Each structure stands twice: as C-alpha cells, then as structure tokens.
Amino acid sequence: MNSNGANPPDVVVFGQIARDLVFVVDEVPGAGHSAAVRQRREMLGGKGANQAVALAQLGMCPALVGVVGDDRVGQRLLEQARQDRVDVSAAIVRAGTATALIADVVDGSGRWRYLEDIPAATLLTRTDVLGCARLLVPGCWASLQLQQPPTAALAAARLAREAGCKIALDGVPGEQARAELLATADVLRADAREAGLLTGTDICTAAEAERAARDIVRRGPSLVALAVNGIGNAFAWHGGSLQLPLSPTQVVDTTGAGDAFMAALIMGLARGGGPQRAARLAVAAAGATVGHPGGRPALTPTAVQQQLTLLARAAPPVPGSLMPPGGAIVGGATS
C-alpha cells in the first residue's frame, strides 16, 4: 500500500501522467472576446494517474507506469501521486522534455474543451515498459491506456500475460495491435465511437452497444463494457449481458468519469464480485466523479454507496446476483 515499491501492487496502470488545469466558465468566449473564470483547479491528471488515484481510493494498491519531464512540475506530480498512495517507483522521468499539460475548459452546461500539450517524449516506449517487469506478479492486474503507442501497449500485454496477470484495456487498440491485444485481454472498456471502430458499425443505442459488446467478447475479452453517450453503458460477458443507465447526478464535468469507471470495474472483479457487481460499481464510480470539475476522483465509500443506491432505484438488480450492498467497497479510502 506504500508508494516506494516495497510491496507488490495488485494493479499496474500504464498510462498518461499530466498536469491538469481546470477552468470553469459560464460560457466559452468567441474569437476576440474574453470570459471570467468562476473556478480554477490545478491537480495531478492524465488518464493513467486518474485511474491509479481512483484505485487507491477504492482500497487497491496501484502502481503507475507513465512519463513525466525532468522539471519541477513532474516532480510535484509524482509527489502528489505518492501522497495519494500510488506506487510511482517505476515512473519514468524523461530528460530534456516538459511534463504533459492538459487544460480543461468547462462551460455552464458541463461541456468541456481540452487544450493539450502532450510532448511525444511523455508517451511510453517499449523500453520503458520492459523496465517495469518487476511490478507484474502472478494474480495482479495490468491496466493499459490505449492512448499510449501500440508498441508500448503490446509490450505491457505480453509482459503481463507471461507474469500471470489479468489484463484490462481502456480504449480501442490500434489496427496493427488489435487482434493480439483483444485475444490477450480479460476486460475491454470503450466508448461508442471506439466500439464503432471495433465493430465497423455506428452505435447509438444501448441495445446496439449490448450487441456490439457480445460480438467483441467472442474476439477474446471475458468482459466488455461499452458506453453510449447520454444513455448509459452496456456490458457483456460469457453467458450474460447487462444495460445500466447513467447516474442521475447533475453533471458538472465528465472529465475523469471513464477513468473512475475503469478503476471500479477492475476493483470489483479483483475482489471477486462478478461481472454484474463490478458493472454496478463502475457506473457508481463514474456517477461520483461527474459532479465536480476536473478529472481527479473522490471515491469515498459514502460517495460510491450513494451512487449504488441511486442506481438500484433506476435499475433494480436481479435477486441473488450481487454481493450485499457495500460488500465490495469495504476498506476503501476515506479521502
């Protein structure tokens, strides 16, 4: 549970580390105009870091493999990750580059616009991945953010499989690596656009997403979760499927919701909750993230349980299909 690498992690996240700047405005100005910022936040961000922090908040012991520059910003982000109980002993400090920066401009309707400065040198390489093989031990999970280069994703998947780890993919694999990554994956999460790339068809409804998820399961993963914008999520696994609506929580900013979703999905499966329980935890974690600006999660046991209760009202579980309420989040973080 510490961040110095002394104890083996139960989840290793391969993904982006970035400085995240959030600006909340009433309305995004047009060219030649300005707008007052109602709220400003600065935090550790990037998909990999967000997911690792969420896992720690849910009581897991995550390690984060990502790249920062050799600047003060990078050092500050790594220190924040340590304070969040994330093992960054295998994080790469790349000489001669600046740490990635993501500016998230959120308007009064909850719509975001990203301005990204992500130097190529802040993406993982195959060599970076091979250098962290010691973190992958039998029984742990490897979570791969597929915004990273395919060569790095393939290297991570191969290492994880050789080590006896479970593999979770977040996003759509590039064509050159797609068949192998799908064949080795245990879990795949994708949005509707990404799912369309995988299936070759547009996905606009939950029923279409469920059919697509079942199709992707036949290509390798044991569990597939597909999001449908504005509607909800569809899940499929060998022998079953499920559709769940979005949380009724008022949306302030959807940034980071997918990262929290993925973290909770992994945690639910790692704790033996089964696909239906893991699916509900994932939707609950996303719902607990959209009510504040910025992608940093705040997955306290209370917040997750409140979302599970809301979800149970909107989509009652099948009797006997789930653990007792809260059973999978015992031991979660309190901050």
Number of structural domains found in the chain: 1
Instruction: Decide if pLDDT at 323 tops 90.
Output: no
**Is position 32 within any domain?**
no
Residue 322 located in a structural domain:
no
For residues 113 and 250, give the distance between their C-alpha atoms in angstroms, rounded to a whole number. 19
- In a domain, residue 302? The reply is yes
Does 185 map to a domain? yes
In a domain, 320, yes or no: no
Average pLDDT over the chain reads 91
Residue whose structure tokens are 């080590």: 163
- The answer to whether residue 101 is domain-embedded is yes
pLDDT tens digit sequence for 141-186: 999 999 999 999 999 999 999 999 999 999 998 888 999 999 999 9
For 184-208, how does the pLDDT look when each residue is reduced to its tens digit (9 = 90+)? 999 999 987 888 888 888 898 999 9
Residue 30 lies in a domain: no
243-290 pLDDT, tens digit per residue, is: 999 999 989 999 999 999 999 999 999 998 899 999 999 999 999 999
Give the residue numbers spanning the domain of 56: 11-25+39-314
In a domain? residue 319? no
Is pLDDT above 70 for 128?
A: yes
Confidence at residue 231, expressed as pLDDT on a 0 to 100 scale: 92
Percent of the chain with pLDDT over 70: 93
Query: Does the pTM of the predicted model rise above 0.75?
Result: yes
Average pLDDT, integer, range 77-104: 98
CA distances from residue 72 to 68, 77, 93 in whole angstroms, order as listed? 10, 9, 11
The predicted pLDDT at position 114 comes to 94
CATH classification of the domain holding 223: 3.40.1190.20
